[in-house]
Amino acid sequence: MLRILIIGASGFLGQALFKELNPYFDVFGTYFTSQKSYDSNRRYYQWNVESESISPILNAVKPDIILTSFKGAFSAQVEAYQEMISYVVRHHKKLMFISTSNVFDAFTNYPSYEYDKTLSGSIYGRFLIKIENALLRLPNAYYNILRLPMVFGKTSPRLQEILKLYDLNEAIDVFPKVIINATTDKKICQQTHYIINQNLQGVFHLGSSDLIHHKDLIEDICEINAIENPIFRNNYQSNQDRYLALLPKHNKLPENYQISIQDVINTSKIM
C-alpha cells in the first residue's frame, strides 16, 4: 500500500485530501497548531515550517508520495521544499506540489496551458515558479505539479469570507474584467486520487472546463446562497478583459473527473 504524507493536513484542502485518501492508502499528515484530535493521533506530526526541519518527519514516515498544501514564510518554505526534493531524489519517490494560477498572473490575453511559459508579477507567483522550476528539473517520475484556480466549496475560505463580509454589511471585492475558471475542494480530491491511482506524471491544470467573469461567479454564488442585496466593490485593473484561467491541453483527465462552473456554484450552496 502506498504511503502518503500530506504536508499541511490540518488546513482546508489538506483536511479534504486526508479524508479522501485515507481509506485507500497509508496516509500521514502534518499540522501546525496543537489540537487534541491531532496530538493524540499517531498519523499526525506537529511541525512548524519556520523553525523546524521536515527531514525528521520524512525519515520517520518514509512516504512514497509527499503531497504539499501548507503555508508559511516563503524563505522557510523554500528550505522545506529543498529537503523534500532531496528526499524524493535519494529514495526515488514522488513530490506532488499544489501550485496555483498565480504563476501566470503576468499574462492577461489568454488562458494558460500546462507547459506554457510561467511569468508572474506577484511575490507569491514568483515563489511558486521557483518551486515549480526546481521540480521541472527532476525526472518526470519524481513529481507532479497540480495547478489550481480559485477554490470554492461549502467550507472553503473564499465562501466563508463572502458570508462574513455580508454579515458585517461590508463590500465584497469583485473583478468585472477578469475571466477565470474555478473548482471545489471535493473535485480536487477526486482528481488527485485519480492521478495517484494511475501513477500519472507531469503538470495538471485542475480547473473548470469553462470560464466566467469573476464578478458573475461571485454574484451566482451569492444568489444560490440566498444572499440578498450584497454590496460589491468593483476592482478594475484594465478596461479590457484579462484572463487568469488554467485550461488543460496535454494532460486532460477523463470527463467524469472534470468540473463545470455550474458545478462549482452548486457545490458552494451551504443550505
Report the amino acid identity of residue 72.
Answer: G
Residue 67 sits in the same domain as residue 136:
yes
d(CA 2, CA 85): 18
List the chain pLDDT tens, one digit each, 271 residues: 999 999 999 999 999 999 999 999 999 999 998 888 787 888 999 999 999 999 999 999 999 999 999 999 999 999 999 999 999 999 999 999 999 999 999 988 999 999 999 999 999 999 999 999 999 999 999 999 999 999 999 999 999 999 999 999 999 999 999 999 999 999 999 999 999 999 999 999 999 999 999 999 999 999 999 999 999 999 998 889 999 999 999 999 999 999 999 999 999 998 7
For residue 124, what are the contacts with CB-CB under 8 A and spacing of at least 6?
A: 74, 100, 102
Q: What is the reported pLDDT for 107?
A: 87
Q: What is the reported pLDDT for 56?
A: 97
The DSSP bridge pattern shows strands 150-152 and 65-68 to be unpaired
Residue 21 sits in the same domain as residue 97:
yes
Q: For 151, list phi and psi in degrees, rounded to 5.
A: -110, 125
17-163-263 Cα angle (round to 5) = 50
Q: What is the reported pLDDT for 208?
A: 97
d(CA 88, CA 263): 36
The DSSP bridge pattern shows strands 143-148 and 44-46 to be unpaired
- Domain range for 197 is 3-150+184-205
CATH of the domain at 158: 3.90.25
Q: What is the reported pLDDT for 58?
A: 98
Residue 74 sits in the same domain as residue 175:
no
Residue 59 sits in the same domain as residue 104:
yes
Length of the chain: 271
Residue 235 sits in the same domain as residue 128:
no
Q: DSSP alpha helices (H): ranges in the chain?
A: 12-21, 36-39, 55-61, 74-91, 123-136, 157-167, 185-197, 214-224, 261-267
User: pTM score, two decimals?
Assistant: 0.94
Q: What is the DSSP string of 26-42?
A: EEEEEESS--HHHHT-T
CATH of the domain at 107: 3.40.50.720
Residue 106 sits in the same domain as residue 167:
no
Q: What is the reported pLDDT for 237?
A: 83
Q: What is the reported pLDDT for 93?
A: 98
Residue 139 sits in the same domain as residue 230:
no
> Grid coordinates 488543460 are at which residue?
248
62: left (phi over 0), alpha (psi -120 to 50) or beta: left
d(CA 145, CA 148): 10
Residue 47 sits in the same domain as residue 173:
no
d(CA 60, CA 79): 19
The H-or-E segment that residue 204 falls in is: strand 202-205
Residue 47 sits in the same domain as residue 177:
no
User: Domain tally for the chain?
Assistant: 2
